[in-house]
Amino acid sequence: MSQYAYDSTVKPLTVNDLLAMKQRSEKISCLTAYDASFSALIDKAGVDMMLVGDSLGMVVQGYETTLPVTIRDMVYHTRCVSAARQRAFIIADLPFMSYATPVMAAKNAAKLIQVGGAQMVKLEGARIEIVRFLVDQGIPVCGHLGLLPQLINQLGSYKVQGKEPADAAKMIADAHQLQQAGAGLLVLECVPASLAREISTQLAIPVIGIGASVDCDGQVLVLYDMLNIGIGKRPRFSRNFMQDNATIEAAIDAYHQAVKQSRFPTAEHSF
C-alpha cells in the first residue's frame, strides 16, 4: 500500500462522479502515473484521475515511440498504480495492436481491469464497433481523438490535428459516434482551441484535453513532462511545474490547483 495511512472512508471516484463534475462545471484534473510511489503522491494531492499511459514506453522504457509497449507492460504498471491509490479514477491505455478486433480488445481490456485494477480502458481513434463491443461486455471505455501517437508511422510527426475544416468536421462527428457507442470519456490531444471548445460543449460526457485548451472539461499531462524530468523534449503544451516549487509533491499540487481554477493551460500551451 501507499506510504500514507489507508483511510477506509475514502472511496475511489467513479465515472458517474466525473460526469457530475462536468455537469456542475468543475474542472477534472488528471496525470499519467506508472508506479506505486508516484500514484500515492498524485492521489494525496487530490488529482481526480490517473492515466496509466502507454507513454511509459518513452518516459520509463526509453523508446522513441509508444509502439513497443505490450499489454503485459500495461497490466504490470496499472497494477502498481492501482495498489497505491485510494480516491483517483484509474484509466489504462490499450497499447498498439492490442485491440485489432473486438474479441482481442475485450480480452486485453479484461486483463487491465481484472489483474491491473483499472476502472476504464482507453483506445485511440474512432474505433466505433470496438467501443460498442467493449461497452456491451461491461467494460468502460475512454476514447482518444486528435493526435494519435500509435499512428506515428502513418502521421510522420507529432503535429496538431483538425486544423482544416473537413478534418475538424470529421473529428466532431467521430466524437459524437464514440459517445453514442457508449464511451464514458474522451481525450482530445493537440487540437485547435476552438475545435476543442466545440466538442466539449456538444458532448454530454467529459472531454479531457492535452494540448487542447482550457475549454475542455479537464486536463491531462504526462507526469514526467510537468516535473521536467523527461528524457525527451518537453511538448509545447506542457508546463514545468517544478520551476516554482521546491518538491515534487508541491508541483503536483500546483498542477492540480491550476487545472481546477482554469489557470492551466494558458494560450501559450494551446493551438
Question: Which domains, from first to last, does the chain contain?
Answer: 15-269 (3.20.20.60)
Catalytic residue positions? 189
**Model pLDDT for residues 64-95, shown as the tens digit of each residue:** 999 999 999 999 999 999 999 999 999 999 99
Render pLDDT for 228-249 as a digit per residue (tens, 0 to 9).
Answer: 998 888 899 999 999 999 999 9
What does the pLDDT look like over 6-32, one tens digit per residue?
677 889 999 999 999 999 999 999 999
What is the rounded CA–CA span in Å between residue 91 and residue 42?
A: 14
pLDDT at 3 over 70: no
d(CA 265, CA 211): 8
Task: Round the average pLDDT of the chain to a whole number and report it.
Answer: 95
User: Are 238 and 11 spatial neighbours (Cβ–Cβ below 8 Å)?
Assistant: no
Instruction: Specify the pTM.
Output: 0.96
DSSP the chain: --SSPP-TT-----HHHHHHHHHTT--EEEEE--SHHHHHHHHHTT-SEEEE-TTHHHHTS--SSSTT--HHHHHHHHHHHHHH-SSSEEEEE--TTS-SSHHHHHHHHHHHHHTT--SEEE--S--HHHHHHHHHTT--EEEEEES-GGGHHHH-S------SHHHHHHHHHHHHHHHHHT-SEEEEES--HHHHHHHHHH-SS-EEEESS-TTSSEEEE-HHHHTT--SSPPPTT---TTTT-SSHHHHHHHHHHHHHTT-SS-GGG--
Closest CA to 270 of 211, 219, 189: 211
Tens of pLDDT, residue by residue over 32-44, are 999 999 999 999 9
Task: Please enumerate, as own/partner, the contacts of 261-264 that have beta carbons within 8 Å and a separation of 24 or more.
Answer: 261/27, 262/27, 262/214, 264/214, 264/219, 264/239
